[in-house]
């Protein structure tokens, strides 16, 4: 039996667009003061629990990369942060920067288990293909690792949970900023350990 790999997958800290409820896919907005503080608290929580990371991956978008930097700073980590375009949020296309409520009124609520194409952007299927490609790539690259930190985005993470584990965003609630979802990989199988954990903030 292979030794397990634990993925600590974190949604970036709160941003200005999160507060204003704008669709924030491939466009970007700065972390709020709370977003910065929550990232630092998260790093302090990891350090307090003696979680040692062997590798760190981040979405290249500023809101995710800066969240990663604040986590590493709080942990006194000097590991390189590996940017991966596979960790980008979904591209909302013509809905980028639009109010979420306007997008939902137009498109309706479409479960992540189904597919929708965002005009000039990506479909849900496109995003899930990126997700599975990333996970398989990291499993191959980090076969000797134990703990891996991944900082990404809300829809990215909810898509993973829905399609791989049957999670339901409406039934189970969304994924909060700076929360941690832990997934275990062993012998070719992925297993959820915790979803949207906020205990590291305490």
Do residues 88 and 130 make contact, with C-beta atoms less than 8 angstroms apart? yes
Q: What's the pLDDT tens digit per position in 177-192?
A: 999 999 999 999 999 9
The mean of the pLDDT values for the chain is: 95
Contact assessment for residue 48 and residue 68, using Cβ atoms and an 8 Å cutoff = no
What would the pLDDT profile of 85-123 be if each residue is shown by its tens digit?
999 999 999 999 999 899 888 887 888 888 989 999 999
CA end-to-end span of the chain = 35
pLDDT recorded at residue 148: 98
Spatial CA neighbour of 113 closest among 57, 59, 72, 168:
168
Range of the domain at 63: 5-201
Pick the closest to residue 52 from 83, 78, 17 (CA basis): 78
Mean pLDDT along residues 57-82 = 97
Model's pTM, two decimal places?
Answer: 0.96
- The CATH number of the domain holding residue 35 is 3.40.50.1240
Residue 56's closest CA among 45, 44, 72, 43? 72
Report the number of distinct structural domains present in the chain: 1
């Amino acid at each position: 039996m292979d030794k397990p790999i634990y993925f600590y997958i974190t949604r970036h800290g709160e941003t200005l667009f999160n507060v204003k409820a704008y669709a924030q896919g491939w466009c970007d907005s700065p972390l709020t003061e709370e977003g910065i503080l929550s990232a630092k608290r998260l790093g302090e929580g990891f350090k307090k629990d003696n979680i040692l990371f062997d590798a760190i991956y981040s979405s290249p978008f500023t809101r995710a990369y800066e969240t990663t930097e604040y986590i590493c700073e709080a942990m006194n980590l000097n590991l390189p942060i590996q940017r991966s375009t596979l960790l980008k949020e979904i591209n909302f296309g013509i809905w980028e920067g639009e109010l979420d409520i306007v997008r939902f009124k137009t498109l309706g609520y479409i479960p992540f288990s189904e597919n929708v194409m965002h005009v000039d952007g990506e479909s849900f299927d496109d995003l899930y293909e990126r997700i599975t490609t990333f996970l398989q790539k990291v499993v191959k690259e980090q076969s000797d690792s134990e703990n891996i930190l991944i900082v990404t985005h809300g829809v990215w993470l909810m898509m993973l949970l829905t399609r791989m584990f049957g999670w339901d965003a409406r039934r189970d609630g969304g994924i909060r900023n700076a929360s941690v979802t832990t997934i275990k990989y062993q012998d070719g199988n992925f297993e959820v350990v915790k979803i949207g954990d906020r205990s590291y903030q305490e």
